[in-house]
Structure 1
């Protein structure tokens, strides 16, 4: 059933969300256009007075809360939620099943001020996902009070992770990562956390067929200030989904498709209670995340009389209007990188460099293959890349 939705995804994709840089007003417009089956309620406001809205859907017994964009520059989950809204309005049997078996409580944008300028933190420079205990941000108060009022059985905590996470044993980007967050430092497993793990095992079974070798298990170190860990502790079986990287998908439109399917797979597992038939060992066989990839990897370059590989990564920063980003490239490793991979690899016996290579400094060189330039940087800026 999940595969049929994947194959017809374009029919439910919310086409008004074309990249990661949409703002609060766009989200509000889309929410206000939802039909009467969706109940809309303003729960509170951000520091700068932007509404934080809850969308309720379904008449079933099982309560499921989904929240996205606690970090303003992590927009993939939000796009996937609006794809979900469209899907729920379809006549697909799974949409009907979710409506009958579940009540969905969805906060599509928890940090509208951060989204406005495309930054992680809110306008107080607070990381909302490290503010569960102190509640100094109004956004954290809204989210915490929402869960306390609803007391959901399950929660979906929707985030993006840096694109340099890879999947152990594959040397491929961790395009999606899952986690049932810990509720204590000992990483114990109670019934609440176990149910989250079993749902994730179902999700992995579905998604690994569609996105093989690109799905990892995120680190489960306990973070006492985080919402996912504390919601798990409070009795809501919490499922973390992180969107990572995928080759040539800078605006995460392909990742968004798989993200939506991951959410839908989890909802199907909960609605049918198929997770109760799942084996816990299938959660622990999901490969772990690691960091064995670079954005750019150049092999076989002679520096100071020795042959080395050069690993280059970029830092992505928002433009002043929050509607785009710029990338600054720097040298992050030099030496034997044969155990690594990259989004872009360069390897040829005729490669040579013009310029300086200094570890942890901005990329500032020209890469030639024979007498032709194939890649060049100036003070960390990408000037040219041969397609």
Structure 2
């Protein structure tokens, strides 16, 4: 049976003013200003280009959760989901009242507003903020660490997005959502902090398996102290990495956004109502590890004018043009792709209506023209 927040998401909690992939400070500023005063909106710093960075502090509970989104500017799905969560928390209900009674949430909706504006992973100084946790060379990194030190969270949610190439294990199941409890040391020791994170992840996975069975993945837990999650975990805070991935035909990540909303709500409610002991280690490691097995498109049995036959693995590059993200295809691999998967497969041997001979000397240009002609891409 669906809980109330699951059954009512689209008509009640989805923030209609946020959609598609391009989400910038301009898109969220008016929404931040409309939040209730009890959500305690503050400007906590500025970016390299002097754009404001905000936080919202919500609730009065002893269990403190710090979460931040768009550390990578081109990973916007979790930002949309955060505003859906805010809509849920604004509504008077037994669930929201329980959360606000037992938890205090500190939410940074957009840590990297410059990267969001440019639709890049890095900030305006071309630094990956998720590799700056030790050096703290960037103003955005300092903002996050300052909030971490002042808030002293009991749990951290590190909210990200992942590319379409990931599969949940070595099978034809895209990794729609992935999780990780980062390591604290080179040995990847299963520490009490990690065990608590694992318990939360297992709880979310159990819920998601009912909606997207076999589409949840687990990231490799190789240790890198320069990453924010590894640093915060090593400082004693159970940390959960969320990765919003690809739902079939959902390149705008609207369905994934809904699933991330469910996952965040499941985690917050579990923390609010449960004494987390860290008893789900085995179940955590049963979640299949992410593998890079998917192409956006595989063109199978392609024939050129020189009677060469091979498969073409196609990926999309996300390109910002006139305030909209366009998905431009490029050739990732050209070989016989016997063990790879794709979100769309076009077999030129089987589909007679798709017969097409490519000129080998201009394969890439013709590929783009073909895909556009047959509406295989959406721009």
Please give the TM-score of this superposition, normalised by the length of structure 1: 0.90
SS, match of residue 16 in structure 2: coil
C-alpha distance in structure 1 between counterparts of 2:187 and 2:115, whole Å: 33
Q: Secondary structure at the match of 1:106?
A: strand
Q: List aligned pairs for 1:80-95, cutoff 5 A.
A: 80-95=81-96
Displacement of 1:312 in angstroms is 1.4
Partners of 2:170 and 2:291 within 8 A in 1: no
CA distance in 1, matches of 2:278, 2:166: 31
> How many aligned residue pairs are there?
371
Which of the two has greater strand per residue?
A: 1
Instruction: Mark the runs of 5 or more structure 1 residues left unpaired by the alignment.
Output: 366-375
- Give the CA deviation at 1:81: 0.5
Matched, 1:355 2:358: yes
1:49, 1:3 → 2: CA distance?
42
- Tell me the residue number matched to 2:339: 339
Hey, what does 2:164 align to over in structure 1?
163
Q: Say whether the 8 Å CA contact 2:22–2:325 is kept in structure 1.
A: no
| Cα distance change, pair 41–113 in 1 and its aligned pair in 2 (3 A) | same
User: Which one has a larger percent helix, Structure 1 or Structure 2?
Assistant: 2
Aligned to 2:200: 199
Q: Which runs of 5+ in 2 are unaligned?
A: none
Aligned equivalents of 1:242, 1:219: Cα separation in 2: 13
Change (3 A) 1:336 1:61: same
When residues 317 and 386 of structure 1 are mapped into structure 2, their CA distance, relative to the original with a 3 A threshold, is closer
| Correspondence for 2:132 | 131
Cα distance in structure 2, aligned partners of 1:189 and 1:4: 35
Please say if residues 208 and 215 of structure 1, whose CA atoms lie closer than 8 Å, have aligned partners that are also in contact. Answer: yes
Residue in structure 1 matching 2:316, options 314, 317, 332: 314
Alpha-carbon shift at residue 278 of structure 1 (Å): 4.4
Deviation digits for residues 323-370 of structure 1, max 9, x if unmatched? 222333222223442322211111243354322458xx97233xxxxx
Residue 384 to residue 329, structure 1, CA distance change in 2 (3 Å): same
**Deviates most, 2-11 or 227-236:** 2-11
What are the residue-to-residue correspondences of 1:34-53 with 2, within 5 Å?
34-53=35-54
**Equivalent residues in 2 for 1:276-315 (5 A)?**
276=277, 278-302=279-303, 307-315=309-317
2:154 aligned residue: 153
Say which SS state the counterpart of residue 48 (structure 2) adopts: coil
CA gap of 1:202–1:139, structure 2 versus 1, over 3 A, is same
Give me the whole-angstrom Cα distance separating, in 2, the residues matched to 1:362 and 1:71: 33
Of the structure 1 ranges 247-256 and 233-242, higher mean CA displacement relative to structure 2 is found in 247-256
Aligned 8 A contact 1:170 1:213 in 2:
no
Instruction: Detail structure 1 runs of 4+ shifted over 4 Å in the superposition.
Output: 302-307
Matches within 5 A, 1:1-387: 3-10=3-10, 11-273=12-274, 275-276=276-277, 278-302=279-303, 307-319=309-321, 321=322, 323-347=323-347, 348-349=349-350, 350=352, 352-356=355-359, 363-365=364-366, 377-378=368-369, 382-386=371-375
Residue 24 of structure 1: CA displacement? 1.0
Displacement of 1:37 in angstroms is 2.0
Deviation per CA, 1:78-115: give whole Å up to 9, x if none. Answer: 11110000000123322111111100000000011111
Deviation sequence 1:258-298 (CA, Å, 0-9, x none): 01111111112211226437421110100111111111112
